[in-house]
A and B are shown apart, each in its own frame.
Chain A
Amino acid sequence: MDVYTFLIQVLNGLQYGLLLFLVASGLTMIFGIMGIINLAHGSFYMIGAYLAWAFAAATGSLFSAILLGLVVSTLIGVILEWTVFRRLYHRDHLYQVLLTFGLIMIFEELRSMTFGDDVHSVAIPAVFSAAIPLTDTLSYPVYRLVISATCLVVAMLIYWLIQHTRLGMMIRAGASNREMVQVLGIDIKLVYTLVFALGLALAAFAGMIAAPISTVYPNMGGQILIISFVVVVVGGIGSVKGTLLAALMIGMADTFGKIVLPQIASMSAYLLMAAVLLWRPRGLFAVGGR
């Protein structure tokens, strides 16, 4: 493997890992703070991609499509929390798994009824459609770099929100002692609604920015859900920092696995998970149990 091929694969691994982080960070926050296992989280990746495709077709611009898509997916998140998830907080994980599995099927059916079962593609915005030439035959698409940079900015925003804002303090306090937060006069239900909608909006956002490179197809949420759970477990359930590190590791393992050992490429992420869990059974950054 020459140095340019290596560089391209590093960038691909980075981009895939950062995208995984957007999906997995919401998953880990919703589990770490509210104790909810949300199998329907991947559906929002799919919903985001379809919204990007539909709105881009309607408005002719991916940027407007992403803005509209964020509004719609956040609204869906708020409504879902109010109507469905709020009833699950005090229930057993089995109920959560059953109900959110049902939601996956409902979302897929709604997607099929609304958008059909065809595969669609979304055009890369003209400003980012160029590729940076590396050698005579190799080049790297600008849009993939834009995805990585966008994800990094979002990751920093999440870090700032959780570590340096009062809302972030309330979120962390709520993860440690929900009742105490309430008796201090803070509406924990509102905090939960916000965290939930934010987590789902992140997954949808990942689907939107990935749409131009991954195409838009039925059941695309299922694949990302499984690998996101791997990321969450490797990172340590509830830890956003661990999720970032784990997402990058899984992104690299998956990308290089396809090149170095193509025979076992589909296993590489799971082998990494097994290795990490043998070393640290609660993941890289285990958070205190709830």
Chain B
Amino acid sequence: MNHSLLEARGIHTYYGASHILRGIDFTVRRGETVGLMGRNGMGKTTLLKTLMGVVPSHKGEIRINGHVTTRSQPCRIARHGVAYVPEGRGIFPNLSVRENLVMAARPGVGGRRDWTFERALKTFPRLGERLGHGGGQLSGGEQQMLTIGRALMTNPDLLILDEATEGLAPIICREIWTVIGAIRDTGIATIIVDKNFRAISSITDRNVILVKGNVVFEGDREALRSQPEVLKNFLGV
């Protein structure tokens, strides 16, 4: 009926008594790169967790790759082609770099095997030098490369990156952004949450701004740049 990879309609999510997401509509088309913006506490991470099934939504419907996933377990949602790189990375410190990658490997939706162990190492050569190291022994930048590499090992249609460059040195951030750009060029759709407005808007096809659990702006880079008051009011840029 349409070409949406991910389609969320009227999503309401609560944490206990707090009403975090207040009726959000959110879509990602195949191969599209979407920037999700907003100040702290506006619901970005909650939206990602709701899409991933980690946090239940109280109302609304989510469809991924044609399946209704509103009540699905996170592992089912991941198997519909979504890979999630959470804030704080979530590497397994008690597993080696090799094991972190290998344990996640599986074909994508429809049996695609584009991403292999070798290709992940080619994308992140530094990981190849650290294969035997424990995940906890890596630097912050290497850990981030490992989580992205691990996510790619699941051959996703959609990659979700929550604060991928947070706390990293500028030179490492540039490296990560270059790789994210390269991943986008392979046709994988991405949702990116990041504090760096310039880096994010130079790479995304479309941007969505959240304020207090509502979508207040949706548009491409040009639309965003032509409305400085949007940036000022909603992002403080």
Question: Are A and B subunits of one complex?
Answer: yes
Interface residues of A (CB under 8 A from B): 166, 169-170, 172-173, 175-177, 179-180, 182-188, 288
Q: Are A184 and B94 in contact (CB under 8 A)?
A: no
Binds A, one of B98-106, B116-124, B169-177, B195-203: B98-106
- Asked if B84 and A169 make an inter-chain contact with CB atoms under 8 angstroms apart, the answer reads no
A237-B43 Cα distance, complex, nearest whole Å: 39
* A180 & B75 in contact (Cβ 8 Å cutoff): no
Q: A184 contacts B154, CB within 8 Å?
A: yes
B75 and A170 contact, CB distance less than 8 A? no
Quick check: B104 and A184 within 8 Å, CB to CB? yes
Asked if B54 contacts A176 (CB within 8 A), the reply is no
Given known pairs A166-B102, A169-B99, A169-B102, the reply for A177 and B92 (CB within 8 Å) is yes
**A180 CB contacts on chain B under 8 angstroms:** 86, 90, 92
- Choose among B52, B95, B100 the residue that contacts A183 (Cβ–Cβ < 8 A): B52
- Asked whether, in the complex, the Cβ of B94 is within 8 Å of the Cβ of A288, the reply is yes
Partner of B74, one of A166, A173, A176, A183: A183
- Which residues of B, 142-158, contact A by the 8 Å Cβ criterion? 150-151, 154
**Do A176 and B93 have beta carbons less than 8 Å apart?**
yes
* B58 at the binding interface (Cβ < 8 Å): no
Could you say which interface size class chain B belongs to? Answer: 20 to 34
- B180 in the interface (beta carbon within 8 A): no
Chain B residue nearest to A174 (CB atoms) is B92
Interface centre among A173, A179, A184, A288 (most CB of B within 10 A): A184
| Structural contact, A173 and B92, CB atoms closer than 8 A | yes
Q: Is the pair A187, B102 in contact by a Cβ cutoff of 8 Å? A: no
A selection of 14 A-B contacts at a CB cut-off of 8 Å is A169-B95, A169-B99, A169-B103, A172-B92, A177-B90, A180-B90, A183-B52, A183-B83, A184-B78, A184-B83, A184-B104, A184-B150, A184-B151, A185-B78
Chain B residues whose CB sits within 8 angstroms of the CB of A184 once the complex forms: 75, 78, 83, 103-104, 150-151, 154
Which one of A172, A173, A182 contacts B78 once the chains associate, using CB atoms below 8 Å? A182
